[in-house]
Amino acid sequence: MTTRTTLLVVLLGLPAVVLLALGPRGQRHVPADRTVVRYWEKWAGVEALAMQRIVDRFNETIGAEQNIWVEYCVVSNVDQRMLIATAGGDPPDVAGLFDHIVPQYADRDALMGLDDLVAEFQIDLDAFKPIWLEIGRYDGKLYALPSTPYTIALYYNHRLFREAGLDPDRPPRTTAELNDYATRLTRYETGEDGRRKIVQLGFTTSPGMLGWWHWIWPNFFGGRLWDGERSAIDTPAGHAAAEWIHQRRAMLGNPEMLKFEGTTGAIEGAQNPFLSERLAMLFQGPWMSNWISKYARDLDYAVAPFPSATPDKHHAFASTDVFVIPAGSRHPREAMVFLKYMLQQDVLEELCKEHGKVSPFRTPAPDFYATHTNPFIQVFDEMAGSPDAFGYPQMPTWAQTSAELLKMHESILRGVRDPHDAVKAAQQRIDTIVDEYQRMAAKRRGD
């Protein structure tokens, strides 16, 4: 066992040994004359089936012509397993990761730089929207290529807008206006105990009802959580976002909101409060339309870009699953043959449609919108072209930073801390995390 592997085993514990010994294995018969390209991917279910169909088609065509066989392996916890396998000298040849992992892996030399390979294989990067390429870069180098991207928008209920006296064709255009709409769209009843309770909520930033993006709000006030060297939550934008969250809850009644938020069902299911028409506005991705079609077919709704603090700005959160080649890949060029195939517009847009995502290309194919399952996919797609679009902060310590920002957010939601004090405390904790990481990174580099 190498020194790097030993270190990871110590850090990750006994499961690392098991993962190294019992890593994913392919199950299909491989023709004897093929070079096997091991492809680890996190997708399961219908998403995996869609990818497997494309892999099969590659193996039958380009793969047969160039004696390559892509072995598609569904891998749970692929980020951890790939890091362990890379440290152990036996990584897959290509892998699918979440984009927020890329800076950490690139900083630890776990990913192969792709600039030279992209040039060698003549992949036209200009065909893609800039945001999807920027997400795959770290420290000026390209480490990841987009697979199935998405943006997050505002879903809103037409019927509830009309009942509240709001124009159903005019969604909120600023964050202040969203808070006003949220107040008008919230309804109360008096319970048997004589206490007021919310039976219909206008909007919430609670992660339990919202989704998975507790950290994004300062961006809609013009902030950036990472400037390339330091975290930046204790800023005017950070404080404005915290105050925006606090004000809305104060207007609606924080105890009542906490009780309502505690009643939410599974986000994917008929009890989703937006699907059951108990929540009038929701911040979610393009896949939401699939859940609506399945669980609330008659829901009268629309989608709009999420508003920024001022109407002249069009901030949009953009994220994407990515393709990477791990450092130590045994067949990087064969892996690039496969990635070049995947990055063909017809192939990649086929996958994006089956996953309910947007197109990564500057100009989607003529039939992309018309044949997509989401009737509002053009809204999501055009948001990625905004000059104010942003992705995850490109910081190697994102996992720990995100956890601290979740603590900050929850303290504001629960009213246990003044929002401005919560912001300052989060900044101090994140600074400590970043400083410690940079100290260890310098030691690792021998600085």
Q: What does the pLDDT look like over 62-75, one tens digit per residue?
A: 999 999 999 999 99
Mean pLDDT in residue range 403-421: 96
**Rounded distance, CA 65 to CA 67, Å?**
6
Tell me which of 27 and 239 has the higher pLDDT: 239
Give the residues across from 153 on adjacent strands: 284
Q: Are residues 268 and 417 in the same domain?
A: yes
**Total domains present in the chain:** 2
**Rounded distance, CA 2 to CA 185, Å?**
60
* Nearby residues of 248 by Cβ (< 8 Å), 6 or more positions away: 179, 182, 183, 203
Look up residue 217 and give its two tokens.
């709000």
Contact (Cβ atoms closer than 8 angstroms) between residue 371 and residue 353:
yes
Whether 447 is covered by a domain: the verdict is no
Here the CATH number for the domain that contains residue 246 is 3.40.190.10
Whether 390 is covered by a domain: the verdict is no
* Nearby residues of 378 by Cβ (< 8 Å), 6 or more positions away: 369
Q: Which of 255-264, 395-404, 419-428 has the lowest mean pLDDT?
A: 255-264
Look up residue 212 and give its two tokens.
């998975």
Whether 311 is covered by a domain: the verdict is no
Hey, how many other C-beta atoms are within 10 angstroms of the C-beta on 36?
Answer: 16
pLDDT digit string, tens, across residues 319-368: 999 999 999 999 999 999 999 999 999 999 999 999 999 999 999 999 99
Mean pLDDT in residue range 406-428: 96
**Rounded distance, CA 324 to CA 307, Å?**
33
**Rounded distance, CA 404 to CA 156, Å?**
30
pLDDT above 60 (res 153): yes
pLDDT at position 447: 66
Whether 343 is covered by a domain: the verdict is yes
Q: Are residues 266 and 290 in the same domain?
A: yes
Percent of the chain with pLDDT strictly greater than 90: 81
Give CA torsion, residues 310, 231, 406, 383, to 10 deg. Answer: 40
Tell me which amino acid residue 406 is.
L
Whether 345 is covered by a domain: the verdict is yes
Q: Are residues 327 and 251 in the same domain?
A: no
Would you tell me the crossing angle of helices 14-21 and 3-12 to the nearest 10 degrees?
130
**Rounded distance, CA 398 to CA 396, Å?**
6
Contact (Cβ atoms closer than 8 angstroms) between residue 375 and residue 106:
no
Q: Are residues 363 and 258 in the same domain?
A: no
Mean pLDDT in residue range 301-325: 97
pLDDT above 50 (res 12): no
Look up residue 96 and give its two tokens.
């699918």
Burial code (b: 16+ CB inside 10 Å, e: under 16) for 172-195 equals bebbeebbebbebbbeeeeeeeee
Q: Are residues 338 and 286 in the same domain?
A: no
Q: Are residues 135 and 168 in the same domain?
A: no
Contact (Cβ atoms closer than 8 angstroms) between residue 167 and residue 146:
no
Q: Are residues 91 and 216 in the same domain?
A: no
Mean pLDDT in residue range 19-45: 75
* Nearby residues of 96 by Cβ (< 8 Å), 6 or more positions away: 39, 40, 41, 42, 43, 78, 147, 321, 322, 323, 324
Q: Are residues 50 and 100 in the same domain?
A: yes
Whether 275 is covered by a domain: the verdict is yes
**Rounded distance, CA 442 to CA 407, Å?**
28
DSSP single-letter state for residue 34: P
Q: Are residues 258 and 360 in the same domain?
A: no
**Rounded distance, CA 199 to CA 279, Å?**
9
Tell me which amino acid residue 398 is.
W
Q: Are residues 100 and 188 in the same domain?
A: no
Q: Are residues 263 and 178 in the same domain?
A: yes
Whether 5 is covered by a domain: the verdict is no
Contact (Cβ atoms closer than 8 angstroms) between residue 160 and residue 314:
no
Chain CA centroid to CA 131, Å: 13
pLDDT above 50 (res 41): yes
Exposed, middle or buried, 307 (CB in 10 Å: 0-12/13-18/19+)?
buried
Chain CA centroid to CA 146, Å: 12
pLDDT digit string, tens, across residues 114-127: 999 999 999 999 99
Write out the residue range of the structural domain in which residue 296 sits. Answer: 153-305+395-437
pLDDT above 70 (res 5): no
Q: What are the angstrom distances between the C-alpha of 265 and each of 97, 167, 271, 272, 293?
A: 28, 29, 5, 5, 18
Look up residue 3 and give its two tokens.
């020194």
Q: How confident is the model at residue 446 (pLDDT cuts 50, 70, 90)?
A: confident
Q: Are residues 163 and 145 in the same domain?
A: no
The long-range contacts involving 159-166, CB below 8 angstroms and separated by at least 24 positions, are 159/277, 159/300, 160/185, 160/200, 160/277, 160/280, 161/185, 161/280, 164/280
Contact (Cβ atoms closer than 8 angstroms) between residue 106 and residue 141:
yes
**Rounded distance, CA 265 to CA 164, Å?**
25
pLDDT at position 28: 66
Q: What are the angstrom distances between the C-alpha of 377 and each of 281, 383, 384?
A: 18, 10, 11
pLDDT at position 14: 39
Dmax (CA) of the chain? 77
pLDDT above 50 (res 203): yes
Whether 24 is covered by a domain: the verdict is yes
